[in-house]
Amino acid sequence: MILDITNQIATAYAPTAIGTQVNGTYIDTLTIEDWGMGEALHWLTSINTTVTGNATATLNFILQGAIDSVFTSPVTVAQALPTPILQANFATQAVKGTQYAIKFPRGFAYRYYRLGVVIGTATLIGGAFDSWILNDAIQDNKSYPSGYLVK
């Protein structure tokens, strides 16, 4: 996976309040030089800093699209998880390095895109998020022991 700064829609974004919190950074699809015509696009959100929250906090991510850069009428284009992450699962599902990726709907319906972090029920205490739209497949390399012993 190639992480391109021009395709990044959030860097260490750390909201804490209840509700849909939106990052001020957005992507203007007219400024991207190469989306990889015909290739699948992916929306990736990565946990930059481990999430902590009050006892009943929940967490999810949405990708919003709009026809104007001030997002007068934002539309949820995609949701990262079918159900929110519960606070009880933050230790396993919202730790630094965890990534959530989905295929991006092809054929841009909107010119501008941004990240929304949906915090439910109770506030977050900590946590930060990065997000990109990528024009290549998500890379998920697994390492295996080589069978060699180094002395």
For strand 112-120 and strand 58-66, is the pairing parallel, antiparallel, or unpaired? antiparallel
Cα–Cα nearest to 124, from 60, 80, 74:
60
pLDDT 10s digits, 66-84: 999 999 999 999 999 999 9
pLDDT confidence of 134, banded at 50, 70, 90?
confident
How far is it, in rounded angstroms, from Cα 11 to Cα 129?
7
Q: What is the DSSP letter of 12?
A: E
Beta strands in the chain (DSSP E): 8-13, 19-22, 27-28, 42-53, 58-66, 75-79, 85-86, 99-103, 112-120, 124-134
* 56 has pLDDT over 70: yes
Structure confidence at residue 107 (pLDDT)? 66
pLDDT 10s digits, 78-105: 999 999 999 999 999 999 999 998 887 6
Residues 4-15 as b/e (b if ≥16 CB within 10 A, e otherwise) read eeebbbbeebbb
H or E element in which residue 90 lies: helix 90-93
Structure confidence at residue 7 (pLDDT)? 82
Question: What residues contact residue 85 under an 8 Å CB cut-off, 6+ apart?
Answer: 51, 58, 59, 60, 93, 94
**Average pLDDT over every residue of 101-128:** 89
Structure confidence at residue 117 (pLDDT)? 98
Among 40-54, 78-92, 100-114, the minimum mean pLDDT is found in 100-114
Structure confidence at residue 47 (pLDDT)? 96
Higher-confidence position of 64 and 32: 64
Q: Are 44 and 98 in contact (CB under 8 A)?
A: no
